[in-house]
């Protein structure tokens, strides 16, 4: 039987978050806590593993708010800063868990990480720089995500940094995650991956799926998400109509809109506009489980 996943929305906002700096619009000034949106990220519990999708600039605040003490892996959707800008803070997990953090991403995303976090890839590292292990994704194949218990052990020495020791012979568990290939732009520019965890598929920043084969990968999901930033047409995100068409085609039991911007109505008004099985997500919402 297919494994069931539980997904917690840690952030449901677009790249600027809501409220946006220096904006006095009614969405940014709303008193409804569901209108406060951190940058898009979800925490998925699946097959005994704790998997984070994206680590944007609000990563630290999100980990603290949800009291997360353990991560097995981080899956990155694409290389935009609102999805990768918080990765330096994995240092806290290195210290707490004494393992490198496993990151899965496409090769072009790793190239960006090597440029933007050069110090974490250096031969001779500054003591305490992030310790991570990057695993590359082939979007055509399922990803085997394994627990971090099977990774090498870190041992901290003041003035030196981390020593890397062989892994404990711990029972290593793993799950299969299906990457869903999409594009940020209609002209097939900037590859973005969505991820299917059994009965739940998380997609954001996808203007269009790569091909029919990607829709096949979504067959039978109970819950699905898609990012949408405004009602009308947008160059790199689906319009509301495109989002609703996608949800209808996938045919999940419940569908959730994430990556919302202040150009959409306030949460309550937006929810009232949507069909019965389509909902705006909000920070803290839990689905599945």
* Shortest Å, Cβ 25 to Zn ion: 3
Is position 237 an interface residue for Zn ion (rule: CB under 5 A)? no
Is position 75 an interface residue for Zn ion (rule: CB under 5 A)? no
- Residue with structure tokens 């008004």? 269
35, 45, 54, 82: which one contacts Zn ion (CB under 5 A)?
A: 82
Instruction: Tell me which stretch binds Zn ion (CB under 5 A): 59-67, 76-84, 172-180, 239-247.
Output: 76-84
205, 210, 214, 283: which one contacts Zn ion (CB under 5 A)?
A: 205
Three-state SS at 82: helix
* Shortest Å, Cβ 246 to Zn ion: 17
Long-range pairs for 211-217: beta carbons < 8 A, 24 or more residues apart: 211/181, 214/180, 214/181, 214/182, 215/249, 215/250, 217/178, 217/180
Interface of this chain with Zn ion, residues 247 to 266, rule: CB under 5 A:
262
Is position 45 an interface residue for Zn ion (rule: CB under 5 A)? no
**φ and ψ of 27, to 5 deg:** -75, -45
Any residues with CB less than 8 A from the CB of 116 and at least 6 apart, and which? 84
| C-beta of 36 vs 99, nearer to Zn ion | 36
Element (H, E) at 216: helix 212-217
The mark string for 23-42 relative to Zn ion (x by CB under 5 A, - otherwise) is x-x--x--------------
CA 154, CA 141: separation in Å to the nearest integer?
31
Is position 235 an interface residue for Zn ion (rule: CB under 5 A)? no
**Residues at the site binding Zn ion, with contacts judged by CB under 5 A:** 20, 23, 25, 28, 80, 82, 205, 262
């Amino acid at each position: 039987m297919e494994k069931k996943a539980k997904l917690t929305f840690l952030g449901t906002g677009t790249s600027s978050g809501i409220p946006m700096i220096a904006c006095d619009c009614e969405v940014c000034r709303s008193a409804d806590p569901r209108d406060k949106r951190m940058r898009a990220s979800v925490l998925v519990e699946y097959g005994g593993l704790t998997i984070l999708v994206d680590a944007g600039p609000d990563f630290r605040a999100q980990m603290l708010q949800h009291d997360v003490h353990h991560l097995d892996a981080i899956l990155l959707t694409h290389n935009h800063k609102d999805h990768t800008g918080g990765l330096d803070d994995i240092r806290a997990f290195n210290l707490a868990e004494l393992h490198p953090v496993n990151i899965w991403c496409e090769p072009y995303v790793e190239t960006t990480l090597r440029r933007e976090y050069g110090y974490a890839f250096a031969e001779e590292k500054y003591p305490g720089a992030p310790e991570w292990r990057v695993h590359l994704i082939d979007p055509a194949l399922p990803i085997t995500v394994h627990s971090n218990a099977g990774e090498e052990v870190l041992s901290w020495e003041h003035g030196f940094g981390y020593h890397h020791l062989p892994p404990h012979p711990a029972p290593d568990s793993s799950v299969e995650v299906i990457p869903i290939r999409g594009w940020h732009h209609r002209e097939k520019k900037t590859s973005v991956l969505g991820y299917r965890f059994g009965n739940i598929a998380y997609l954001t920043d996808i203007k269009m799926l790569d091909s029919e084969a990607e829709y096949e990968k979504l067959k039978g999901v109970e819950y699905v998400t898609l990012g949408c930033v405004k009602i009308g047409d947008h160059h790199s995100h689906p319009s509301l109509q495109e989002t609703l068409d996608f949800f209808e085609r996938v045919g999940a039991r419940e569908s959730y809109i994430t990556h919302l911007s202040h150009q959409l109505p306030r949460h309550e008004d937006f929810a009232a506009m949507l069909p019965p099985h389509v909902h705006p997500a909000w920070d803290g919402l839990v689905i599945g489980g």
